[in-house]
Amino acid sequence: MSDLFNFSAGPAMLPKEVMQQAREELLNWNNTGVSVMEFSHRDPAYVKMARQAEQDLRDLLNITDDYEVLFLQGGGRGQFSAVPQNIAAKSATVDYLDTGIWSGYAIREAAKYVSKVNVAGGCLETGKGKAIAPQEQWQLSDNAAYFHYCTNETVDGIALHTPPAGIEAPLVADMSSNILSEPLDVSKFGIIYAGAQKNIGPSGFAIAIVKKDLLGEPQPELSSIMDYQLQAKDGSMYNTPNTFAWYLSGLVFQWLKRQGGLAGIGQLNQQKAQLLYDYVDQSEFYRNEVHPDYRSIMNVPFQLADDSLDQKFLQEAAAAGLIGLKGHRFVGGMRASLYNAMPIAGVQTLIDFMDQFQRKL
Ligand SMILES: *Cc1c(COP(=O)(O)O)cnc(C)c1O
């Protein structure tokens, strides 16, 4: 099975080296004779590993001491309700960009907890494809408790590559599908959060990077396990964390450091995406409908000229060892997710397959 490439959007492929290490130490972690899954999260050896994982993440992203780094449960969507309940009052207005399917979910969840969710802007069609409306067109509220957007829309393949400047409200970003994919200036954000299963580790786990000065009075009904202040006070161990996911994420952070950190992996990610977009753009048979300035580096949706061939494409791709290419059920077509763990050889193999597929028709 060594030639298999997994383009799944999430849970997604993890670095092979990390998976091999996890397998080797699965039954005997740290020379203890037991699995990391069988360890108490209060055990000094486990705590040491957990704190090292936090430090490695801080190193990768240059996170300063004025931010909490929280390891939480409930995936990306758990944060859709945690954010408003932690940093907005029930009477608050909050601003959201609506740029795709995940933004839509975040907006509908937030609406349960605050008096007004103002959709400040969204996408528009241009002659060069689908784009995010320029910032001059956004309708911001006065005194919004925060401004939320999704940096990378996993389903739609649309990304806002630079954080908006000059917004008064703290920026809150859902980075579930592009965190750790390129260098990032954390200091521009109030909160960054991400479900783990795209670029970090196993699903059900989430990371929140929260500026300390945003933590004041949470909404009274906020569940304790989602309470940023409480979790920060207890080192993200208010309740039993997902100990295995934390461990595996830690291995991924160390792997990332070995790849030259975010600068190193960022360059490779650019190269991978460029290869695939260039191929799609020169092709008469495949197309991507996103404006070049807003194309995702992580998730590349593409359509076949004749969608009655979709099934055949997927079957033959799987037979060639290329799996997970089916587009999201809401949008159809294909999607190749090129997260950090996808080697460039995977992209090259995909392009060769796509080329042969359309030549044979
Ligand atoms: C996958 C994803 C989520 C949801 O993550 P869950 O862990 O399934 O809750 C949220 N936002 C974005 C951008 C995602 O890609």
Domain boundary among 237, 258, 279: 258
Tell me, yes or no, whether 77 and 219 share the same domain. Answer: yes
Tell me, yes or no, whether 266 and 223 share the same domain. Answer: no
Tell me, yes or no, whether 283 and 217 share the same domain. Answer: no
Among 15, 36, 16, residue whose Cα is nearest residue 25: 36
Query: What domain range is 234 assigned to?
Result: 17-258
Tell me, yes or no, whether 241 and 298 share the same domain. Answer: no
Tell me, yes or no, whether 79 and 195 share the same domain. Answer: yes
Class of residue 31 by CB neighbours under 10 A (exposed 0-12, middle 13-18, buried 19+): exposed
In a domain, 355, yes or no: yes
Question: Does 109 contact ligand 1 (Cβ within 6 A)?
Answer: no
CA distance readout (Å), 188 to 232, 278, 322: 21, 32, 38
Q: Please state the domain count of the chain.
A: 2
Class of residue 139 by CB neighbours under 10 A (exposed 0-12, middle 13-18, buried 19+): exposed
Domain boundary among 258, 280, 308: 258
Catalytic residue annotation: 102, 174, 198
Name which residue sits closest to atom 13 of ligand 1, judged by CA: 176
Which pLDDT belongs to residue 340?
98
Question: Does 177 contact ligand 1 (Cβ within 6 A)?
Answer: yes
Binding site listing for L-glutamate: 42
Which pLDDT belongs to residue 3?
77
In a domain, 1, yes or no: no
How many angstroms separate the alpha carbon of residue 32 from the centre of ligand 1? 35
Domain boundary among 208, 230, 258: 258
In a domain, 4, yes or no: no
Binding site listing for pyridoxal 5'-phosphate: 76-77, 102, 154, 174, 197, 239-240
Tell me, yes or no, whether 188 and 301 share the same domain. Answer: no
In a domain, 117, yes or no: yes
In a domain, 155, yes or no: yes
Among all chains, which residue has been given the structure tokens 């997994």? Answer: 6
How many angstroms separate the alpha carbon of residue 106 from the centre of ligand 1? 10
Question: Does 200 contact ligand 1 (Cβ within 6 A)?
Answer: no
Tell me, yes or no, whether 92 and 29 share the same domain. Answer: yes
Q: Along the 361 residues of the chain, how does pLDDT read in single tens digits?
A: 557 999 999 999 999 999 999 999 999 999 999 999 999 999 999 999 999 999 999 999 999 999 999 999 999 999 999 999 999 999 999 999 999 999 999 999 999 999 999 999 999 999 999 999 999 999 999 999 999 999 999 999 999 999 999 999 999 999 999 999 999 999 999 999 999 999 999 999 999 999 999 998 999 999 999 999 999 999 999 999 999 999 999 999 999 999 999 999 999 999 999 999 999 999 999 999 999 999 999 999 999 999 999 999 999 999 999 999 999 988 899 999 999 999 999 999 999 999 999 999 8
* Model pTM score: 0.98
**CATH assignment at residue 275:** 3.90.1150.10
Tell me, yes or no, whether 133 and 278 share the same domain. Answer: no
In a domain, 337, yes or no: yes
Tell me, yes or no, whether 288 and 273 share the same domain. Answer: yes
Tell me, yes or no, whether 265 and 250 share the same domain. Answer: no
Q: CA angle, 172 as apex, 168 and 173 as ends, to 5°?
A: 135
Tell me, yes or no, whether 209 and 331 share the same domain. Answer: no
Question: Does 257 contact ligand 1 (Cβ within 6 A)?
Answer: no
Tell me, yes or no, whether 64 and 103 share the same domain. Answer: yes
Q: Which two tokens stand for residue 330?
A: 């809401």
**CATH assignment at residue 85:** 3.40.640.10
